[in-house]
Chains A and B, each alone.
Chain A
């Protein structure tokens, strides 16, 4: 988990509220990613960013938004439009060039919406 922090570890919200998950890295990585993990479904990519002020949708971007104003930070907002937001959210980062480099993951945030 070293080098990437996610806060908080557990988050509880009422249905209809937007919530923002924090992700910070001190690895000087250009690329950052957000994944959602549900039991038995592995990891699914929500959004990714390869450079400051630019980001792309992943496989399940609907109901989520991101920003990348600083290299170190890639916050994820879960909006009220996300129909099933309860999940474990993982942030990751990597070196961009060549695609040969592994991704480093944060400890995750477990979001529960009731």
Chain B
């Protein structure tokens, strides 16, 4: 079975500082990993994904994520946070060759303060 954990319910960061939102996963085979962002009362927006290749993945709005196989992690990062980055972030995992079902983490609320 596949699972994903986001250990922090909330992350607080000052505007202009770097941010990290943590995600760890568990799958039997090779993972496909995704990050989504959700603004209040809206659907989820896709940010980036790791399928294979370079461990550092770049995505929308200046976000990037680093795949670390040994630590089974896929942390979301941004060098300089904006107040407008404040939202709910979800990590999701799918085991390769296991169909199209995504398993989502519980979400991390990012608060960027001016």
Contact of B44 among A45, A58, A90 (CB under 8 A): A90
Question: Across the interface, which residues of A come within 8 angstroms of B41, CB to CB?
Answer: 9, 88, 108, 110
Question: Across the interface, which residues of A come within 8 angstroms of B107, CB to CB?
Answer: 40, 42
Q: What DSSP secondary structure best describes chain B's contact surface?
A: loop
**Which B residues have a C-beta under 8 Å from some C-beta of A?**
9, 32, 34, 36, 41-46, 49, 51, 90, 94, 96-102, 104-107
Instruction: Say whether A94 contacts B100, CB under 8 Å.
Output: yes
A99 to B60, CA, bound (A): 21
Least CB distance, A108 to chain B, in whole angstroms? 5
Contact of B99 among A1, A42, A90, A99 (CB under 8 A): A99
A101 to B43, CA, bound (A): 17
A19: interface (CB < 8 Å): no
Question: Across the interface, which residues of B come within 8 angstroms of A88, CB to CB?
Answer: 41
Instruction: Say whether A48 contacts B45, CB under 8 Å.
Output: no
A21 to B54, CA, bound (A): 40
Q: If A45-B101, A99-B96 touch, does A40 touch B42 (CB 8 Å cutoff)?
A: no
Q: How many residues of A contact B (CB 8 A)?
A: 29
Beta-carbon contacts of A100-114 to B below 8 Å, as 1s and 0s?
111111111010000
Question: A88's closest neighbor in chain B, by CB?
Answer: B41
A101 to B94, CA, bound (A): 10
Beyond contacts A1-B45, A92-B43, A99-B32: 10 other A-B pairs, Cβ-Cβ < 8 A, are: A31-B100, A41-B106, A45-B101, A48-B100, A48-B101, A50-B100, A99-B97, A102-B49, A103-B46, A103-B100
